[in-house]
Structure 1
Amino acid sequence: MSTPLSYLAGRLQPSARAVRVVCLAALVMSVVIVVTGAAVRLTASGLGCPTWPKCTADTLAPTAAMGIHGVIEFTNRMLTYVLCAAVGAAIIAARCRTPWRRSLTRLGWAQFWIVMSNAVIGGITVLTGLNPYTVAVHLLASMALIWVALVTWERSKEGDGRPEPLVARPLVQLSYVLVALTGCLMAAGTVVTGTGKHSGDSSDVPRIPLDYDRVTQFHADFAFVTVGLTLAMIFVLRAVQAPAPARARARDLLVVLLAQGLIGFVQFFNGSPELLVGAHLLGATLVWVAALRIPLALRVRPELPEAPAAADSAGHTAGLVTAG
């Protein structure tokens, strides 16, 4: 049965580089939407549009009476459409590429549904008056989107063959533990956010009823453990002469972790100024990306063998050319 995507596939033929570019664009936009969401919270614009999906009960866009907060919140909502466009471009490029890479198409659709789900979560966040628990879920869903977008981009540079490990299985498992620990670090950060002073609006927004200093210390402890495991990963990768890209990615993770830790300490001891909090959230996305890239560098995916029918067709054509 013909579909709009199959129709486009018959008329478009993006290059492999074009597919990689649009997949990277989707990844970049998934990071941008996190940063702009942080800007909404740090400028106390979370309820700039007090309802959802409209900005007010009667208008889609903010009114002049809502001021700059309405503009900031509405702009962040509109950026969701830019993100959808980037994800849509990745889906179309993957579908139109010959041979059709179904795995990339599925990953693209996974991004789309995460975006749609997170838009609903964002709406619930507004309708519940910036409940800190839904704010945390909103951010974690964004991190899930970054995960899938990163995998999509990395897969666009590989083949579709079965993954072939480049190091021993225990080292691959260690990389998974590092990713899981980094995910716990992200989750602990959302608890810090939920107990902190930047609630997202100037009104009386409820906070998570925990001691801020203790929660921050708990988050810092997770960071110390993550740094320690990253150092262990660096030494082990070097000891076993792992591929250079894997060793480089482990070093990248250490660098962004240390920079993130420095920002976090300065932020804590200076009363959490908005600019540093925003930089810390950007750093969180970079830490997450750096951690996820390590296990992806510990295996390769070769190209699938050419389909027999395609090979026979190519051989027949070559024979005709030779005969001619």
Structure 2
Amino acid sequence: MSALTYSKLTGRVIVANLVAQIVIIATGGAVRLTGSGLGCSSWPNCEPGEFSPQFHTASSIHPYVEWGNRMMGAVVVIVALAVAVLVFFAARRGVRPVPSTRLLWLATVPLLLSLVQAVLGGLTVVLALHPALVGSHFLFSAALVWLSTWLVIEWYRPGRPHPIVPAGLRTTGWVLAAVGAVVVVLGMVVTGAGPHSGDDEVGYRFAVDPVLIARTHAGFVWLFLAVLAVFLVLAFRAADDGAGQVRRLRHRGMALLAVTLAQGAIGYVQYFTGLPELLVGIHMVGAALLLATLAWTVAGMSERATRAELTRADSAVPA
């Protein structure tokens, strides 16, 4: 396999890792929304002595939903392992530029956190859906989406980042990211405080006022929109760098605005329609897409040389 083919393969697996991290949020959401959190009473077996669900006349959908999420978890770990292996051996296969320490760490973290997720999944079943574990399960997935997006960015644009916008705009961008993190955490608490706890026998996992926490979550969403508005104003006022980088940042900011507005609309519709399962599930996946778009936007505040550009520069240096 040539270095170019190896590089393309690695890039595709890195993108597949990001997709898998988003998909498992959807399958995990399906577990919660169908009340299948204890569909399998054991771990790693579904039932004591039975690795997978056994069909019989009294079977319900719950074991299969839970088992499907576990299988998706296995896929996530396998893809994350492939990412780590491919990136670590990239230099040996002649891929240029050689992966930096930053890129090596980004390639390792998804595997490590995915393994932590597997252990958390087992503990969640053993401890009968303890709310702290259920909540942290989602937050780990959210962090994995964020980091996996940065991994995609770092692979395809591995050059050292150089800021292309004023300091005030960069500060606003990182404030936006911080507020976004608060929004996601509060969204997790809202879900845990409502009727979709993951277990048919428990109406909620967090003993907090669901209306109050939902309004707090909505308040931070409005704050996120306000900061995003400031970010966009500053981005459109920033001088163009001549290479189109600032223009692309504006486009990314507008894409983030579109995702945010869609998420907000879904959030309000689900709240006023009694939290239908389908809308809640879409909202959970939307949170992952929001995080990925947010990371993509924040990364756009800096110019990064592409892999092809660095490779040409490297080959142009006299031996």
Common fold by TM > 0.5: yes
1:56 is aligned to 47
Range moving further from structure 2, 231-240 or 288-297: 288-297
Contact 2:172–2:230 (Cα < 8 Å) also in 1: no
Tell me if 1:115 matches 2:123: no
Q: Post-superposition shift, 1:125?
A: 1.4
Tell me if 1:246 matches 2:246: no
Q: Post-superposition shift, 1:311?
A: 4.0
Q: How many residues align?
A: 300
1:212 is aligned to 210
Tell me if 1:33 matches 2:24: yes
CA distance in 1, matches of 2:265, 2:114: 31
CA distance in 1, matches of 2:33, 2:252: 31
2:228 is aligned to 230
CA distance in 2, matches of 1:218, 1:208: 15
Structure 2 residue corresponding to 1:201, chosen from 199, 203, 206: 199
Bigger radius of gyration, 1 or 2? Answer: 1
1:133 is aligned to 132
Q: Post-superposition shift, 1:81?
A: 1.8
Contact 1:249–1:293 (Cα < 8 Å) also in 2: yes
Q: Post-superposition shift, 1:169?
A: 2.2
Tell me if 1:221 matches 2:219: yes
Contact 1:91–1:104 (Cα < 8 Å) also in 2: no
Range moving further from structure 2, 191-200 or 56-65: 56-65
Q: What SS is found at the alignment partner of 1:281?
A: helix
1:195-215 Cα deviation digits (max 9, x unpaired) = 100111212365211111111
2:243 is aligned to none
Superposition pairs for residues 1-324 of structure 1, below 5 Å?
13=3, 14-65=5-56, 66-97=59-90, 98-99=95-96, 100-102=98-100, 103-160=102-159, 162-204=160-202, 207-241=205-239, 243-302=246-305, 303=310, 306=314, 311-312=318-319
One-letter amino acid of the counterpart of residue 272, structure 1: L
Root-mean-square deviation (CA), in Å? 2.0
Contact 1:12–1:96 (Cα < 8 Å) also in 2: no
Q: Post-superposition shift, 1:41?
A: 0.8
Range moving further from structure 2, 14-23 or 227-236: 14-23
Range moving further from structure 2, 79-88 or 273-282: 79-88
Q: Post-superposition shift, 1:93?
A: 2.9
Q: Post-superposition shift, 1:20?
A: 2.1
Contact 2:194–2:204 (Cα < 8 Å) also in 1: no
**What 5-or-longer segments of structure 1 have no aligned partner?**
1-10, 313-324
Contact 1:130–1:205 (Cα < 8 Å) also in 2: no
CA distance in 2, matches of 1:206, 1:225: 27
Cα 1:230–1:206 change in 2 (3 A) is closer
**What 5-or-longer segments of structure 2 have no aligned partner?**
241-245
Q: Post-superposition shift, 1:17?
A: 3.0
CA distance in 2, matches of 1:85, 1:207: 31
Q: Post-superposition shift, 1:12?
A: 6.4
One-letter amino acid of the counterpart of residue 88, structure 1: L
**TM-score of the superposition, structure 2-length normalised?**
0.88
